[in-house]
A and B are shown apart, each in its own frame.
Chain A
Amino acid sequence: MVRSDVLKEIASILRDQLVVCNIGLPSQELHLIDDQPTNFYMLGTMGLASSIGLGLAMAQPKKVISIDGDGSVLTNFGTLPTIANNTTDNFILLIIDNGSYGSTGDQPTYAGQKTSLTAVAKACGCDNVIECDAADTGKVLQEALDGDKMTIIVCKCESGNVKVPVITMDPVTIRDRFMGAVKS
């Protein structure tokens, strides 16, 4: 399974949740698979999906899922200690770890080599860190949503991309629509 297969598989679970989605192909794929007002698409700023999601979860009581990538977590490694030390039980960080920088042409990341993001997250002090195979992502994500505990999921999948159009929605429209969904 590649990332777009995982997103298709979990789309029905994501639909009713607040989702902060990583820059590039992940946002473009989610937008194509199931565009929802509850999705915040990042059009720039690689690495900050987890930080935006954590801030959002701290600010209001609804559950928040940040969909991140291995390359993006490597870009913003400082996020993991911040998450660990600011336990926010309505926050789930889903790292789709395909071992590559997918949006830029599948260059290998260190997460696909000797570095285990699961081990790093645990070493940073995150309490509930679950590594799973791509095929189990839906089950693990649903359990995390039902569990009311801050959870980091590291979903191991294959690298590879499907052709998807870029998002042409205006950023202020994305943000305004999303804030409406947060409040409703």
Chain B
Amino acid sequence: MSVNEKIVSDLVANNVNFVTTVPCKQLAGVIDLIEKSPDLKHVPSNKEDEGMGLCAGAFMGGMRPAIIMQNTAIGVTINTLVTLTQYYRMPLPMLISYRGELGEPVACQVEMAVHTKALLAQLHIPTYHFHKEEDVEELDAILKHSFMCNKPVAILTDASFWKGY
């Protein structure tokens, strides 16, 4: 099973059924599988805070949401995470492309990478860093954790995990 297949199969096994995405090169393969999965309703969004609004609505309607985005989106979504997802206490697994880590060819991406973990820590968001391929084994438990405690959780997936892009 490829990493992309493992991610989608863990989402489905955890009854995640609503996924919104803002694309990233590293996540292209998994987004493609999400679009094709008959078990996942896929709604692409134009901005990550909009996507979190969709996820909040889907959750209140009885679905189990997740969002896929880049770490640059942490800068975009702090207000939404704090005043919607956390304030109303809702679960939200965030599968995040951790751009700007080792192997990154685009210098500007590093500027947000150096703030990513500090921002997530400041927001008290449980954060997991997938660096080696076998780290994906923890995804199942992370998804369960988010829905158990009704909190957003961040899964940072870097270029080493994706073996470049």
Is A147 in the interface zone, CB < 8 Å from B? no
Closest to A78 in B: B46
Closest to B61 in A: A59
Quick check: B58 and A55 within 8 Å, CB to CB? yes
Quick check: A59 and B18 within 8 Å, CB to CB? yes
Cβ contacts under 8 Å, A57 to chain B: 57, 61
A39 to chain B, nearest CB (A): 12
- In the bound complex, what is the Cα–Cα distance between A49 and B50 (angstroms)? 10
- In the bound complex, what is the Cα–Cα distance between A57 and B62 (angstroms)? 11
Within 8 A of B (CB), among A54-109: 54-60, 76, 78-79, 81-82, 86
B151 to chain A, nearest CB (A): 12
Within 8 A of B (CB), among A21-61: 40, 42-45, 47-60
B44 to chain A, nearest CB (A): 8
Is B43 in the interface zone, CB < 8 Å from A? yes
| Interface-facing stretch out of A2-10, A131-139, A173-181 | A173-181
Is A114 in the interface zone, CB < 8 Å from B? no
Cβ contacts under 8 Å, A182 to chain B: 60-62
A-B contact count (CB 8 A): 115
Is A162 in the interface zone, CB < 8 Å from B? no
Cβ contacts under 8 Å, A175 to chain B: 60, 88-90
- In the bound complex, what is the Cα–Cα distance between A175 and B52 (angstroms)? 16
Is B53 in the interface zone, CB < 8 Å from A? yes
Interface size class of A (residues with CB under 8 A): 20 to 34
A24 to chain B, nearest CB (A): 12
Is A20 in the interface zone, CB < 8 Å from B? yes
- In the bound complex, what is the Cα–Cα distance between A82 and B47 (angstroms)? 10
Is B54 in the interface zone, CB < 8 Å from A? yes
- In the bound complex, what is the Cα–Cα distance between A49 and B56 (angstroms)? 10
Cβ contacts under 8 Å, A125 to chain B: none
Is A163 in the interface zone, CB < 8 Å from B? no
Quick check: B84 and A48 within 8 Å, CB to CB? yes
Which of B44, B84, B89 meets A45, CB within 8 Å? B84
B90 to chain A, nearest CB (A): 7
Within 8 A of A (CB), among B105-158: none
Known contacts A43-B83, A43-B87, A48-B53; decide if A82 and B46 are in contact (CB<8 Å): yes
Which of B45, B58, B82 meets A82, CB within 8 Å? B45
A residues bordering B, Cβ < 8 Å? 20, 40, 42-45, 47-60, 76, 78-79, 81-82, 86, 171-172, 174-175, 178-179, 182-183
Name 23 A/B residue pairs within 8 A (Cβ), A-sorted: A43-B87, A44-B79, A45-B49, A45-B80, A45-B83, A48-B80, A49-B53, A50-B53, A51-B51, A51-B52, A52-B53, A55-B18, A55-B43, A55-B61, A56-B58, A58-B58, A59-B59, A59-B63, A60-B62, A76-B47, A171-B87, A174-B88, A175-B90
B residues bordering A, Cβ < 8 Å? 18, 41, 43-47, 49-63, 65, 79-80, 82-84, 87-90
Q: Which 3 A/B pairs are nearest by Cβ-Cβ distance? A: A55-B57, A59-B61, A44-B83
